[in-house]
Amino acid sequence: SKKAVVIGAGIAGIAAAIRLAVKGYAVEIFEVNTSPGGKLAEINKDKFRFDAGPSLLTLPQYIDDLFELAGKKPADYFEYQQLDVICKYFYADGTKLTAYADREKFEQEITTHTTENRDALRNQAAKSATIYELTSPVFLERAFGGLKMLFTKAGLKTLLNLEKLDATRTMHEANQQMFKDERMVQFYDRYATYNGSNPYAAPGTLNVIPHLEQGMGAYFPNEGMYAIITGLVKLAGELGIKFNYNSPVDEILLDGKTAKGVKVLGNVINADIVISNMDVWFTYNTLLKNHPKLHPQKTLKQERSSSALVFYWGINKKFSQLDLHNIFFSADYKAEFDQIWKEKNIYHDPTVYINISSKLRPKDAPPGCENWFVMIIVPSNSGQNWDEPVKAARANILTKLSGLLNEDVSKLIISESILDPRDIETRTLSYQGSIYGNSSNSQFAAFMRHRNQSAQIKNLYFCGGSVHPGGGIPLCLLSAKIVSEAI
Ligand code: FAD
């Protein structure tokens, strides 16, 4: 049978491997780290377990698809539940909101605690769903086909409804027109951060994101996020896919303009197909560094998405007012994004996200304790000095949380690990430590992502968060599907 080599065991790499194995390819994955998952990793420390990267699961059917494709029952590998409470929000002015999945309860909550009315919430939901219907079949679920794709039935529909995509103003401008209560503007602006963008620059089209969460549901894997990887690796093993760990790919081998294999630790591995799940910037600049003429310079120069600073805290107390997902907003959102995107610094009053998987999976923390994944958005790594700002951020986050929770949180931390943009860059070879590939801070960003099939090099394919259709688990899984269809 034909042989495919996958560079990297991130979620997209594993998904692409599964799809090709089902097609009959002999598939081998090379991963530089000692375990699979890439950014989707876990930390076990001091009797606490943390999901190290992604914490919010949307569109889980894309994971189920892989088990079904292989003729298996998804629930035998991976189980998840839909959340009734999507997220709890804490505002600087003391407002507290619970985002219920149930629309009636959600509307009741918002109209009780803010000055917003139901019509605005309903208009937002309808608009978000419309953008999804118009963009998903054309921009997300298929190979990027340039102008050609506009001449499909779905493409034509999108073309005829271009103004509904709201691409000519920013997300923030659109939300300001939609809502009269500033708290709702901030609530909906935050969705820009789901792909590492800035709501004051990203097009209104990104108002599609709330539909993925509020419209289609937020989910939690019963055994934590890392169970996604465990389940897929189990399936991959059954399909005969070979995983090689501690195995950095050093070079993609070309015969003229055709990929013919890879070099791993000095060994030549021949293949009919090479799929890179490695960040596209590093793929060209390290594995193809001897072929600068084949580099898509313009694509590689795109602005990167933001990065993250994460504190994994074992907390020696339980907080009944917190849920699985919790947001503590900054008082001045515009100033926060200006600091991140213009000054490329950490803001002194950051919006803090806390994920506590032990709320739904108690064994992730010892009795009486909780595992806090505490994340703020920070700029990507352009060589800033991070040490001092990270220390300052830790102090600012603790002051803020202690005030809002009426408890000296610093005294409750009994275990700690930290992840900053430099770690994200070195651990998963993510250019600049960006967590979602390119930013979507321009209306052209969707068109500028690297395609899933190399235009210059035959038999070379790309999947993962740094290429089309973009970052985040669902889009990474779609990239793998597009690669397999292209092959
Ligand atoms: P990656 O995870 O980037 O993995 C690439 C793999 O390739 C790595 O294992 C790396 O070691 C390996 N590799 C690289 N170079 C080589 C080489 N030369 N040889 C061999 N192996 C190599 N997404 C969501 O959907 N929801 C969330 O809530 C969410 N939150 C996030 C929070 C954080 C802190 C982070 C960091 C990310 C978050 N994301 C979230 C984004 C999500 O994690 C990523 O989009 C996704 O996991 C990327 O997967 P990938 O397939 O692109 O590969």
Least confident piece of the model among 145-149, 221-225, 243-247, 329-333? 145-149
Question: Tens of pLDDT along 161-207?
Answer: 778 888 889 999 999 999 999 999 999 999 999 999 999 999 999 99
The yes-or-no verdict on residue 57 having pLDDT over 70 is yes
Question: CB count, 10 Å around CB of 103?
Answer: 14
Interatomic CA distance for residues 53 and 29, integer angstroms: 21
Interatomic CA distance for residues 114 and 413, integer angstroms: 34
Q: 284: Cβ–Cβ under 8 A, 6 or more apart, which residues?
A: 294, 295, 296, 300
Question: Tens of pLDDT along 327-376?
Answer: 999 999 999 999 999 999 999 999 999 999 999 999 999 999 999 999 99
How far is ligand 1, taken at its centre, from the CA of residue 306, in Å? 14
Q: Which atom of ligand 1 is nearest to the CA of 424?
A: 36
How far is ligand 1, taken at its centre, from the CA of residue 331, in Å? 31
How far is ligand 1, taken at its centre, from the CA of residue 225, in Å? 13
The β-bridge partners of 3 are 26
- Give burial (CB, 10 Å; 0-12/13-18/19+) of 93: exposed
Average pLDDT over residues 431-448: 87
Domain map (residue ranges) of the chain: 3-40+59-81+223-302+440-486, 103-215, 304-428
Residue minimizing CA distance to atom 34 of ligand 1:
53
Q: Which ipTM score applies to this complex? A: 0.99
Residue minimizing CA distance to atom 14 of ligand 1:
278
How far is ligand 1, taken at its centre, from the CA of residue 334, in Å? 28
Question: Tens of pLDDT along 129-152?
Answer: 999 998 888 777 777 666 666 667
Whole-Å CA distances, 184 to 107, 120, 180, 329: 12, 10, 8, 12
Average pLDDT over residues 45-60: 98
| pLDDT for res 150 | 65
Q: Indicate the DSSP class of residue 136.
A: I
**What pairing do the DSSP bridges indicate for beta strands 242-244 and 26-30?**
parallel
Instruction: Give residue for tokens 């629930």.
Output: 75
Q: Which atom of ligand 1 is nearest to the CA of 465?
A: 52
How far is ligand 1, taken at its centre, from the CA of residue 463, in Å? 11
| pLDDT for res 154 | 75
The yes-or-no verdict on residue 40 having pLDDT over 70 is yes
3-state SS assignment for residue 251? strand
How many Cα atoms occupy the beta-carbon half-sphere of 288 within 13 Å? 28
How far is ligand 1, taken at its centre, from the CA of residue 400, in Å? 30
Long-range contacts of 235-238 (CB under 8 A, 24+ apart): 235/18, 235/66, 235/67, 235/70, 235/72, 235/77, 236/14, 236/17, 236/18, 236/21, 236/29, 238/70, 238/72
Question: Tens of pLDDT along 375-427?
Answer: 999 999 999 999 999 999 999 999 999 999 999 999 999 999 999 999 999 99
Q: Which atom of ligand 1 is nearest to the CA of 474?
A: 25
Whole-Å CA distances, 83 to 56, 73, 251, 329: 10, 22, 44, 21
Dig out the tokens for 217 from the structure: 């549901």
How far is ligand 1, taken at its centre, from the CA of residue 127, in Å? 30
Average pLDDT over residues 92-115: 98
Residue minimizing CA distance to atom 22 of ligand 1:
8
The residue whose CB lies within 8 Å of the most ligand 1 atoms, and thus the one to mutate among 251, 277, 312, is 277
How far is ligand 1, taken at its centre, from the CA of residue 196, in Å? 14
pLDDT band of 159, cuts 50, 70, 90? confident
Dig out the tokens for 33 from the structure: 């780290």
Residue minimizing CA distance to atom 48 of ligand 1:
465
Interatomic CA distance for residues 88 and 296, integer angstroms: 43
| pLDDT for res 142 | 74
Q: Which atom of ligand 1 is nearest to the CA of 14?
A: 51
Residue minimizing CA distance to atom 31 of ligand 1:
54
Q: Which atom of ligand 1 is nearest to the CA of 473?
A: 25
How far is ligand 1, taken at its centre, from the CA of residue 465, in Å? 7
Residue minimizing CA distance to atom 39 of ligand 1:
54
Q: Which atom of ligand 1 is nearest to the CA of 436?
A: 45
The residue whose CB lies within 8 Å of the most ligand 1 atoms, and thus the one to mutate among 43, 50, 428, is 428
Give residue ranges with CB within 6 A of ligand 1. Answer: 7-13, 30-33, 38-40, 53-56, 248-249, 277-278, 308, 310, 375, 424, 428-430, 435-436, 464-465, 471-473, 476
Percentage of the chain modeled with pLDDT above 70? 98
| pLDDT for res 144 | 66
Average predicted confidence (pLDDT) for the chain: 95
pLDDT band of 447, cuts 50, 70, 90? confident
| pLDDT for res 149 | 66
pLDDT band of 70, cuts 50, 70, 90? very high
How far is ligand 1, taken at its centre, from the CA of residue 487, in Å? 23
Q: What is the CATH number of domain 3-40+59-81+223-302+440-486?
A: 3.50.50.60
Average pLDDT over residues 48-65: 98
| pLDDT for res 146 | 61
How far is ligand 1, taken at its centre, from the CA of residue 41, in Å? 9
| pLDDT for res 98 | 98
How far is ligand 1, taken at its centre, from the CA of residue 59, in Å? 17
How far is ligand 1, taken at its centre, from the CA of residue 191, in Å? 20
Interatomic CA distance for residues 5 and 275, integer angstroms: 6
Average pLDDT over residues 243-260: 98
Q: Which atom of ligand 1 is nearest to the CA of 8?
A: 7
The yes-or-no verdict on residue 448 having pLDDT over 90 is no
Question: Tens of pLDDT along 291-305?
Answer: 999 999 989 999 999
